[in-house]
Structure 1
Amino acid sequence: MNQFFKFSTCLAILLIVMMGGYAQDLHFSQFFNSPLTTNPANTGFIPDGNYRIGLNYRDQWATIPVPYKTMSVYGDFQLFRDRLEYGWVGIGGVLLRDVAGAGNLTSTKGYASIAYHQLLGQSSLLSLGFNAGSAGKRVDITKLTFGDQWNGKFFDSQIPTGEPITQTSVNYFDLQAGMNYAYFPTENIYVNAGFSVQHINTPRETFYDGNNVIPRRYIGFLNASIKMSDKVILNPAAYYATQVGARELMLGANAAYNLSGDGVQQLFGGLYYRANDAAIFLVGYQLNAVKLMFNYDITTSGLSAANNRRGAYELGIVYTGLYTNRSFSNARRSTICPSF
């Protein structure tokens, strides 16, 4: 009975938190290290390089009965930097996978992205991008029990359920669009704001015989890089997402410290806060073109009673490169954000 009570309490708290305002579309606390899922206009928008490859892994709510494990890998690069005088094209792709709950609810998504980036004078840039792809979900119902299978003492999977599940997998086409604006008046200041819409086509997604659709999700972000000295670059950021009545607001900053003096080695530390949900502590290290960041989310919402404040940990790895031939016809510097 104690086990059942604990399970019921955890599940009830989780449902309250989810109903209270946080959509479970796949997302990362390190949204700045998951550019293609945050905004397709980020495709080929690489302030400190010309191409990049990244990997993200998030393990969330491992201490309660319905944990989430989210993974992604992405890559994007710039085209026509040597042919277009005032802009370039970015192309890329991202793969995502998420596994959650006792029924191994598995989401698998793959998107191809394209964006165009247009310089506006010498100190600003406007970007427009799209991505499209295939998404699918599946669930193992043999690992699930339902309310009508309660026998008075425990949930008995041998009791037939009347749950009207008509299929255990679903696939659909998904479409996103977004735009960015960047302002970089000097080599010491860089500001970027973006807005995107996910699930533009509101695809149908249900395991039942119904017409449930995924509502559009709207995302806005603002970030900056400010070179404080030859040793420190400050990177403040804000992120906001809304989907139907669910909302997510995240604020914070990280700072890069120049360990080696020439920028080859950098140390990162940061603090972020997701409103009514979690405090997020971040550390990182960069060696040459490879950056590794780790964050830990400490739960501050009502769910903390069930998970002892152990919310999630997340790992982000990004490799950023510059083309060997950087003699672009527009004669602009290859990077537009502050660097050591």
Structure 2
Amino acid sequence: MLREMRQGWLLMAVIVIMGCSAKVQAQDLHFSQFFNSPLTTNPANTGFIPDADYRIGANYRNQWVSVMEVPYKTISVFGDAQVFRNKIENGWLGLGGVILRDVAGSGNLTSTKVYGSIAYHQMLGYASLLSAGFNVGWANKRIDPTRLKFPDQFNQATGFFDAGIPTSVVFDATSISYVDIQAGLNYAYFPNDKVYVNGGFSVHHLNKPKETFFTSSDFDNRLDPRYIGFLNASLKVNDQVIVNPMAYYTNQSKASELVAGASFNYNLSGDGETQLLGGLFYRSGESIIPLVGFQWKNFRMSFTYDVTTSSLSTYNNNRGAIEFSLVRHGFYDEYNGNQRQSLCPKF
């Protein structure tokens, strides 16, 4: 009986730790602006930069401020570049890396992940490109049990949880680390300077790393593989407008997410150096995501806001998440001011 009760407390602890969310898997490296987090979307994106030779960027997401005492906060910094472009016939390598940090829930469940990525890109004729890549990373998660309350700490006399009441939940570890592996493929088609289409598929957690604070648990605590597919296009309507329709789907265990929509670039300066960005996306069954942004020369900043449309809107007043992205594209000095041909439409 005691063993069954302890297993019950452990199960409740896991639920509390993970934020009581049935969609916890969807929180894995989760950004609404997936198109501005290329290396976490697909490692084959490493060095796949249609309009530049290198890029660096940062993303920030703050989620569920209105319904959680400690909201989810996710930060990422990434960079990648094309190498050996002039030494490999009709192809090149991409090298890059990304650092992620996520803090979630009352127990300060903190995730820190560092990945290194490599990809190979091969031109297929003059109008298409095939890419394959993988990344290997180190992940660490830690928890502060002193900030958690468990079912056996509920004081029936007062009707509140009491941290002074001993709990039977004992963590075998409060910090764990593991190796994580991802792989992916990309294909791009660009028949002329007004049309660009790209699609990709990737598998994350290929090695199914074990992730648990309870070494004595009877549960299988290995991460299930996460599958991500995306499609996007860039269509030049005229010298003032470029439209970018796109869709993203991910599935892990029993959790899935579908995001679809479009953004546009509006040419403010005539030469394309100054652009206004706008767009609207929809996360199926969950939220509407408007986007606004601005591009100046090689810098692009964008902002999205998740407007909750699910039943959760009753509790959070439609306030889901805010997200910022800043990306800089650049060219190597060896071009001496003469930029190479872009694979996607540009002003």
Task: Report the equivalent of 2:151.
Answer: 147
Q: Work out whether 1:334 is the aligned partner of 2:336.
A: no
The alpha-carbon deviation at position 154 of structure 1 amounts to 0.3
Picking from 110, 113, 126, the partner of 1:109 is 113
Local SS of the residue matching 2:44: helix
Please give the per-residue CA displacement for 1:283-340, whole angstroms capped at 9, x wherever unaligned.
000000000000000011121122111000000000001123249xxxx953201000
Please give the per-residue CA displacement for 1:27-54, whole angstroms capped at 9, x wherever unaligned.
1000000000000000000011000000
Picking from 141, 166, 173, the partner of 1:160 is 166
Q: Counterparts of 1:25 and 1:132 in 2: how far apart (Å)?
A: 16
Q: Work out whether 1:221 is the aligned partner of 2:227.
A: no
Inter-CA distance 240–21: structure 2 relative to 1 (3 Å threshold)? farther
Task: Report the equivalent of 2:57.
Answer: 54
The alpha-carbon deviation at position 239 of structure 1 amounts to 0.1
Segments of 4+ in structure 1 off by > 4 A?
A: none
Q: Is the 8 A contact 1:21 1:245 kept in 2?
A: no
Count residues with an aligned counterpart.
Answer: 322
Picking from 290, 294, 309, the partner of 2:303 is 294
Q: Match for 1:95: what amino acid?
A: I
The alpha-carbon deviation at position 85 of structure 1 amounts to 2.0
Q: Is the 8 A contact 1:51 1:78 kept in 2?
A: yes
Unmatched tracts of structure 2, length 5 or more: 1-15
Q: Work out whether 1:174 is the aligned partner of 2:180.
A: yes
TM value normalised by structure 1: 0.92
The alpha-carbon deviation at position 23 of structure 1 amounts to 2.0
Task: Report the equivalent of 2:123.
Answer: 119
Q: Work out whether 1:138 is the aligned partner of 2:142.
A: yes
For 1:28-47, list aligned pairs within 5 A.
28-47=31-50
The structure showing larger relative contact order (alpha-carbon pairs under 8 Å, at least 6 residues apart) is 1
The alpha-carbon deviation at position 164 of structure 1 amounts to 3.7
Picking from 248, 251, 265, the partner of 2:260 is 251
For 1:294-333, list aligned pairs within 5 A.
294-326=303-335, 333=340
Picking from 262, 268, 281, the partner of 2:271 is 262
Q: Counterparts of 1:335 and 1:151 in 2: how far apart (Å)?
A: 66
Task: Report the equivalent of 1:70.
Answer: 74
Q: Counterparts of 1:204 and 1:246 in 2: how far apart (Å)?
A: 18
Q: Is the 8 A contact 1:50 1:334 kept in 2?
A: no
Calculate the aligned-residue CA RMSD, in Å: 1.5
Please give the per-residue CA displacement for 1:189-237, whole angstroms capped at 9, x wherever unaligned.
0000000000000000001123411110000000000000000000010
Q: Match for 1:185: what amino acid?
A: P
Q: Is the 8 A contact 1:125 1:182 kept in 2?
A: yes
Q: Is the 8 A contact 1:283 1:294 kept in 2?
A: yes
Q: Counterparts of 1:22 and 1:177 in 2: how far apart (Å)?
A: 19
Q: Counterparts of 2:309 and 2:317 in 1: how far apart (Å)?
A: 10
The alpha-carbon deviation at position 71 of structure 1 amounts to 0.2
Inter-CA distance 22–251: structure 2 relative to 1 (3 Å threshold)? farther
Local SS of the residue matching 1:162: coil
Unmatched tracts of structure 1, length 5 or more: 1-10
Q: Counterparts of 1:246 and 1:44 in 2: how far apart (Å)?
A: 30
Is 118-127 or 205-214 further displaced after alignment? Answer: 205-214
